[in-house]
Structure 1
């Protein structure tokens, strides 16, 4: 879901309050009385929220609306004009405040919850066709036998060639329980139909695996409601797979656009045992928040490298900044995006909502990241990683009749399997990740001396 362009701006949201009462969220802040050089009558502080409506501006607004309706080249109804006015009111505040119509509001809720009604297919576009990248486990798509590489040539009888990925995804999503027919082509064969019923699909935001013996890798693609729980499970799985305490761990936050504030707090809580994680400051009372560790460090204090880049924003920066301030890990990569503002989602009538900036957040040391970003401890820019294959060179142990090792150790001839034919690992083509792994190995060597 995150790869869709339409969701990019929504995914940057840190949804602090979903479903908060509008009256409470809009509670005005009291302003201090101003001082003047000339004596002034004693008056109560002016509350902007209770000030009289600006009648002149309202008259101008009504006049503009009336002129548009009368003179615009095509008829425009009142609803369209008023909705456009509301959108303009929000969009001109800052880049992240917005008016959400029913569709946008639903997509925001899906992106933060990780649940939606669909088939469970990750798709891409190839030669103008919609191609299955991967079916998600335990979804209608995987149960129906849809495979990676299948081309979706029709959706409910309508050809997909020339459609954008967004258009195709919108058609495959829908009401849970409704049936949909996909026409597929597999390996250039004859088209065949598969009929599926939409179901609730849960998209995991955390991926974990071992890079090498002793060194684990956790990637967070977005901060959803269940991300903290998923990181906890990932740490437990890596310990189990390794069979003992890890020597090091890479936490990958690159190109993670953010998400739910509470999820970011929970992730940091898995890596530190005490102290402040993040705090927010705004004008209204419920925007003053402080989040601290609960003492449930699940990482065993394993050496940690955190990868960030210019696509790491919002909640990603909260995690990176907190771990950096606590000196819990080494930040590596390039400067992060620099979105240090908090958006609160305020539901309205008719399935609409306001997404409005209500606060700025600060790292434990009081740093505001807004428009500056997080600077990594070690700057490593991404580059193409290639392996020099020297396996064809003979070594002493390859020579016939060579002497054995004087201490009785086993011979070490040249590698039997060239690097290019070995099983691909995430770090093999990822320069930043390979550098993170090298740093962890160096930390392990110095720690054990």
Structure 2
């Protein structure tokens, strides 16, 4: 969907929220391990600060001579680089080999692993869900299994991040998990790691005619996944246009700028999506929608909250400015800067803030966020018992309908009618669905 003219020599990206230990970024400008192409910067007006450089060298010598433990030059210099980047803004960073590799994995949506979603329960790592068609699902690992050991090492007391790091690794290598199922005896399962593809888009029908599309983060293939999800929802709706759609961007921390543009383009037929401004000429970009509307102009409600950041705000801002959908929820995070990943030698990289982005109406999101059109705070949904137990049509000998219509007695509850739906326990989602139904009634489409 995206025209080649939108591409640039710099791989532009929108990073995760400030609290994230590692921000996501777009494709690097050079292959890993190769130096980045030179970036043209404004000519330096001042000579090198020799006095400050002398001070730096003196501090380094003092540390090496007097610190309580020996410190090598490499460690000191890397720490100095990290400090230089970290004091620019919260999103610029120096990426070592592990951080750079993790960034590339997270934005591609592919990594070497087992294919399970995990959480922590009572100090143990618990399988939330095995991903279909992965080594974990083929090995018979089930939701609810407790992972008590990884390669013989107990997991109790480990953080989820530590456990995930141990389960990820080189493709083809085998790993042994010790599991406990339903309180039974521990048993071992040996699984070989494989390439795991994580989808960032989930779609399902809420009710007849009303669809739900959830984006968890913006990876390289997210725009393509959104296109497929829209086609899937139409198919589930009997190949008919939907009456309404909820686009859920809540707690979506961001990701790849290009993916955000492609996602917004699925819902727009013309006009500006986003533009960026920076000091370098090639950091000033404009992205416009193409005429193809994959969503068929379906009435749209976009859910956002304080966890919606960066790329999420680009999509929400474009749809709000273009009056394409109603934004509902709470104020977004407010990260309006763009990061460029500049690969260095030795599998390292710089993630540098190079621009601010602006919505089609020229709004900067930075440190302000997006205010929804309809504020709806999240609340707990509880279902009250239906007090309606008897109707006129239930009375013996009742009169028939004056127009000859069929009787409508009290419906009998059935197990199917009690099936849990996403909106049943989600107040914001239920309000979004109610708004879409109201729009259909008032607009008559």
TM-score (normalizing by structure 1)? 0.91
Q: Tell me, what secondary structure is at the counterpart of 1:166?
A: helix
Separation of aligned partners in 2, 1:333 and 1:398: 42
Indicate whether 1:19 and 2:30 are aligned: yes
Name which of structure 1's ranges 410-419 and 193-202 shifts more when overlaid on structure 2: 410-419
Other-structure match for 1:41? none
3-state secondary structure, aligned to 1:385: coil
Q: Does residue 139 in structure 1 map to residue 150 in structure 2?
A: no
SS of the equivalent of 1:8 reads coil
Q: Is 1:117–2:112 an aligned residue pair?
A: yes
- 1:281 aligns to what SS in structure 2? strand
Partner of residue 10 from structure 1, selected from 22, 42, 51: 22
CA-to-aligned-CA distance 1:96-142 (integer Å, 9 cap, x gap):
00111111111111111100000000000111111100001111011
| Cα offsets for 1:29-59 (capped at 9, x unmatched) | 3xxxxxxxxxxxxxxxxx22x7432111010
Contact 1:389 1:418 in 2 (8 A): no
d(CA) in 2 for partners of 1:142 and 1:354? 37
Bigger drift between 87-96 and 158-167 goes to 158-167
TM-score, L = length of structure 2: 0.91
Structure 1: 5+ residue runs without aligned partners? 30-46
- Equivalent in the alignment of 1:214: 209
Report the 3-state secondary structure (helix = DSSP H, G, I; strand = E; otherwise coil) of the residue aligned with 1:273. coil
**Which residue in 2 is equivalent to 1:407?**
403
Q: Residue 402 of structure 1: CA displacement?
A: 3.5
Deviation at 1:81, TM superposition (A): 1.0
Matches of 1:10 and 1:226 in 2, distance apart?
20
Please tell me whether residue 339 in structure 1 is matched to residue 352 in structure 2. Answer: no
1:197-254 CA-partner distances (Å, limit 9, x unpaired): 1000000000000011000000000000000010000000000000111000000000
Give the alignment partner of residue 122 of structure 2, picking from 103, 120, 127: 127
Q: Answer yes or no: is the 8 Å Cα contact 2:18–2:91 preserved in 1.
A: no
Q: What does residue 200 of structure 1 align with? A: 195
**Aligned runs of 1:173-192 on 2, under 5 Å?**
173-192=168-187
- Asked if the contact 2:36–2:344 (Cα under 8 Å) also holds between the matched residues in 1, the reply is no
Q: Does 1:289 align with 2:285?
A: yes
State which of 375, 379, 394 in structure 1 corresponds to 2:375.
Answer: 379
Residue aligned with 1:434, SS:
helix
- Counterpart of 2:438 (choices 421, 431, 442) is 442
CA distance in 1, matches of 2:407, 2:181: 48
Shift of 1:17: 4.7
Equivalent position to 1:73, from 62, 68, 71? 68
Aligned-pair distance for 1:415? 3.8
Q: Aligned partners of 2:285 and 2:125: how far apart in 1?
A: 45
Q: Is the 8 A contact 1:389 1:419 kept in 2?
A: no
In the alignment, is residue 86 of structure 1 matched against residue 81 of structure 2?
A: yes
The CA deviation at 1:408 is 3.4
**Which structure is richer in relative contact order (CA contacts within 8 A, separation 6 or more)?**
2
Q: Show CA shifts across 1:245-270 (max 9, x none).
A: 10000000000000000000001111
Distance in structure 2 (CA, Å) of the matches to 1:5 and 1:246? 33
Alignment correspondent of 2:6: none
Question: 1:362-401 to 2 correspondence within 5 Å?
Answer: 362-391=358-387, 393-401=389-397
Distance in 1, matches of 2:119 and 2:281, equals 45
Where 2:22 maps in the other structure, the secondary structure is helix
Contact 1:337 1:373 in 2 (8 A): yes
Q: 1:412, CA displacement in angstroms?
A: 2.6
How many residue pairs were aligned? Answer: 427
Q: How far apart are the structure 1 equivalents of 2:392 and 2:161?
A: 59
Distance 1:316 1:5, change over 3 A: closer
CA contact (8 A) 1:14 1:315 kept: no
**Matched residue of 1:277: which SS?**
strand
| Cα distance, 1:19 vs structure 2 | 2.7
